Amino acid sequence: MRKFPVELEVRGGVLFFGGVSAVELAERFGTPLLVYEEDKIRRAMREFRETLSGLGVRYRLFYACKAYCSLAMAHVVREEGFGADVVSMGEMITALRGGIPPEDLLFHGNFKLDEELRFAVEQGIGTIVVDNAYELERLASLAATQGGSRPIPILLRITPGVVAHTHRYILTGQEDSKFGFDLESGQALAAVRLAMRTEGLRLRGIHMHVGSQLVSSEGPVQAVRRLEALLTSVPEFVPEVLDLGGGFGVPYVVDDPHVPLRDLLVPVVEAVRELFSRLGHPEPELWWEPGRRVVASAGTTLYRVGGVKEIPGVRRYVAVDGGMNDNIRPALYQAQYEALLANRPLDPPEALYTVAGRLCESGDILIVDHPLPHPQPGDLLAVFVTGAYAYAMSSNYNRLPRPAVVFVRDGKARLVQRRETIEDLLALDLPYGFGDCETAPSEVPNAAARKALETRGAPEA
Ligand SMILES: Cc1ncc(COP(=O)(O)O)c(C=O)c1O
Ligand SMILES: N[C@@H](CCCC[NH3+])C(=O)O
């Protein structure tokens, strides 16, 4: 059998996930179906904890909800002792309702809405990562109007001017970035000074995230070293916290490097220790916000095969019942994936097939020229390592409903997000007509979100 970027479980000639047959999963829940092996998620989180504990650092971990966010995921995150990095009202509410305490949330984003900032402060969200001068100003006035309550704990997001090695769309540490206070031009220094003297704000430290899908520690290490000039310029600022973001890469295809977590963490920890001891500062608490590394490899998408066509001398195509609406990554980042026929994984490859989605876009191609046995309509195609930024970035393009999501564990499958229905889509549409415009209901932004919190609590086990 060919090698894959994840370990496979094959029983009786069928692919299994967490002890459950892929064929059974597809029959029970339909396709496309996103299947998460819960143990893999938990193991990935434990690996972070164990590696960092082994290094003897003081640390905190926040799962980056943007990679995949649901009540079930929040539940696992809480059980594994992680906090959560959230970037919107939607993620905040999901994390809170999933049982993550407000103090364990870290609120990110380059444009946080007023309503979101107010909500975060009211709820006592642990830390707000301030991205820019406009936000600092708004937070300062929020702190002033709040009067008397606790100072708002903040980190400042700094763009260190480091170009890490990854796809340009997921680079964030370079000078020319929409995120953060630029270090080189002095904006970061000005922000530190302003934040320190702003009453009602408690500047706890610095945040830097140089990019995603990193397979080397070089970018984050350079970022840490670049802090020296800033910290030397404001010796009275001793960061209690240094948050180095996420970015830990995973192998998507078998030829991708599998970089041990230790190799991504140890050089960064050493760089921090070296810098802080040179400055005579106590070692800060180190925070990380991994998203992809926690969920990517734990997720597999199951598609049903439809038509197969061969253009002689040109290419063979196999169409599946999903595509760029459930996984935009190939179209957006030229991301590569590997696949297997889940109902007959032991059949040897017979030809190269290009896996086409069913959306009306020529770019809706999930995999180009992949070795497969000749697929037949009705076969099940498993696409591996789709746990991060696939469902999270899904859309209703072509009016397609989002897939269902199941968690599997110990031979059991639990539906954690039901398949969207056409009714769900239609529920957003209001009847057409201009006769009653004045009396049409007006929407109060985020009122529903607050209401949703009233039913806060862990999802049913
Ligand atoms: C600020 C911040 N933190 C954490 C993450 C999570 O990144 P990853 O999924 O690469 O670990 C991102 C996304 O790249 C981010 O922008
Ligand atoms: N969505 C990107 C990662 C972006 C991370 C968010 N800053 C991906 O699929 O690789």
CATH of domain 9-36+297-422: 2.40.37.10
Ligand closest to 107 (CA) is 1
Atom 2 of ligand 1, residue of closest alpha carbon: 245
Round to whole Å and give the CA distance between 193 and 374.
64
Res 461 pLDDT > 70:
no
Residue linked to tokens 């370079």: 174
Task: Please state the rounded mean pLDDT for residues 274-280.
Answer: 98
Give the DSSP H/E element, type plus range, for residue 372. strand 365-372
Residue 103: CA count within 13 A, CB half-sphere: 2
**Which of 209, 297, 389, when mutated, tests ligand 1's pocket best, judged by the most ligand atoms within 8 Å of its CB?**
209
pLDDT digits (tens, 9 = 90+) for 410-424: 999 999 999 999 999
Q: Which pLDDT score, from 0 to 100, does residue 433 have? A: 86
Round to whole Å and give the CA distance between 375 and 316.
10
Q: Which pLDDT score, from 0 to 100, does residue 292 have? A: 98
How would you class 369 by CB atoms within 10 Å of its CB: exposed for 0-12, middle for 13-18, buried for 19 or more?
exposed
pLDDT digits (tens, 9 = 90+) for 304-344: 999 999 999 999 999 999 999 999 999 999 999 999 999 99
pLDDT digits (tens, 9 = 90+) for 114-144: 999 999 999 999 999 999 999 999 999 999 9
pLDDT band at 459 (very low <50, low <70, confident <90, very high): very low
Radius of gyration of the chain (CA): 24
Q: Which pLDDT score, from 0 to 100, does residue 441 have? A: 61
Collapsed DSSP state (helix, strand, coil) of residue 86? strand
Atom 1 of ligand 2, residue of closest alpha carbon: 389
| Torsion of the alpha carbons at 218, 222, 224 and 227, rounded to the nearest 10 | -170
- Percent of the chain's residues with pLDDT above 70: 93
Q: What is the separation of C-alpha 310 from the centre of its chain, rounded to a whole number of angstroms?
A: 37
* Residue 12 zone, left/alpha/beta (φ > 0; ψ -120 to 50; rest): left
Task: Please state the rounded mean pLDDT for residues 187-195.
Answer: 97
Q: Which amino acid is at 108?
A: H
CA distances from residue 118 to 145, 210, 248 in whole angstroms, order as listed: 11, 28, 32
pLDDT digits (tens, 9 = 90+) for 72-87: 999 999 999 999 999 9
Q: Please determine, looking at this structure, whether the domain spanning 108-290 carries the CATH number 3.20.20.10.
A: yes
Residue linked to tokens 């498993």: 382
Task: Please state the rounded mean pLDDT for residues 350-361.
Answer: 98
How would you class 451 by CB atoms within 10 Å of its CB: exposed for 0-12, middle for 13-18, buried for 19 or more?
exposed
Q: SS3 helix, strand, coil % of the chain, rounded to 5?
A: 35, 25, 40
Give the DSSP H/E element, type plus range, for residue 368. strand 365-372
Res 350 pLDDT > 80:
yes
Round to whole Å and give the CA distance between 369 and 377.
18
212 within ligand 2 shell (Cβ under 6 A): yes
Residue linked to tokens 């006769």: 435
pLDDT digits (tens, 9 = 90+) for 17-62: 999 999 999 999 999 999 999 999 999 999 999 999 999 999 999 9
Question: How close is the Cα of 251 to the center of ligand 2, in Å?
Answer: 15
Please tell me the least confidently modeled range out of 189-193, 213-217, 448-452: 448-452
Nearest to 383 by CA among 332, 334, 340: 340
Task: Please state the rounded mean pLDDT for residues 356-374.
Answer: 98
Question: How close is the Cα of 93 to the center of ligand 1, in Å?
Answer: 19
Round to whole Å and give the CA distance between 129 and 145.
20
pLDDT digits (tens, 9 = 90+) for 250-262: 999 999 999 999 9
Q: Which pLDDT score, from 0 to 100, does residue 439 have? A: 59
User: Which DSSP letter does residue 402 get?
Assistant: P
pLDDT band at 148 (very low <50, low <70, confident <90, very high): low
ipTM above 0.90, yes or no: yes
Round to whole Å and give the CA distance between 429 and 426.
5
- Characterize 281-290 residue by residue with b for buried, 16 or more Cβ atoms within 10 angstroms of its Cβ, and e for exposed: eeebbbbbbb
Q: Which pLDDT score, from 0 to 100, does residue 458 have? A: 45
Could you tell me the two tokens for 62? 């926040």
How would you class 343 by CB atoms within 10 Å of its CB: exposed for 0-12, middle for 13-18, buried for 19 or more?
buried
322 within ligand 1 shell (Cβ under 6 A): no
68 within ligand 2 shell (Cβ under 6 A): no
* Active site annotation includes 437: no
**Which of 41, 66, 210, when mutated, tests ligand 1's pocket best, judged by the most ligand atoms within 8 Å of its CB?**
66
Task: Please state the rounded mean pLDDT for residues 337-360.
Answer: 98
291 within ligand 1 shell (Cβ under 6 A): yes
Question: How close is the Cα of 245 to the center of ligand 1, in Å?
Answer: 6
* ∠ CA 22-28-33, rounded to 5°: 60
Show contacts of 112-119: CB within 8 Å, 24+ apart: 113/89, 114/138, 115/89, 115/445, 115/446, 116/88, 116/89, 116/92, 116/446, 117/142, 118/142, 119/89, 119/92, 119/446, 119/449, 119/450
Where do the domains of the chain lie?
Answer: 9-36+297-422, 108-290
Atom nearest to 249 CA in ligand 1: 10
Q: Which pLDDT score, from 0 to 100, does residue 460 have? A: 45
User: Which DSSP letter does residue 258 get?
Assistant: -
HEC states along 269-334?
HHHHHHHHHHHCCCCCEEEECCCHHHHHHHEEEEEEEEEEEEECCCEEEEEECCCCCCCCHHHHHC
170 within ligand 2 shell (Cβ under 6 A): yes
331 within ligand 2 shell (Cβ under 6 A): no
Could you tell me the two tokens for 240? 């209690």
290 within ligand 1 shell (Cβ under 6 A): yes
**Which of 177, 212, 213, 332, when mutated, tests ligand 1's pocket best, judged by the most ligand atoms within 8 Å of its CB?**
212
Could you tell me the two tokens for 328? 């935009």
Nearest to 248 by CA among 45, 37, 25: 45
Is residue 389 annotated as involved in ligand binding?
yes
**Is-same-fold flag (9-36+297-422; 108-290)?**
no
Res 445 pLDDT > 60:
no
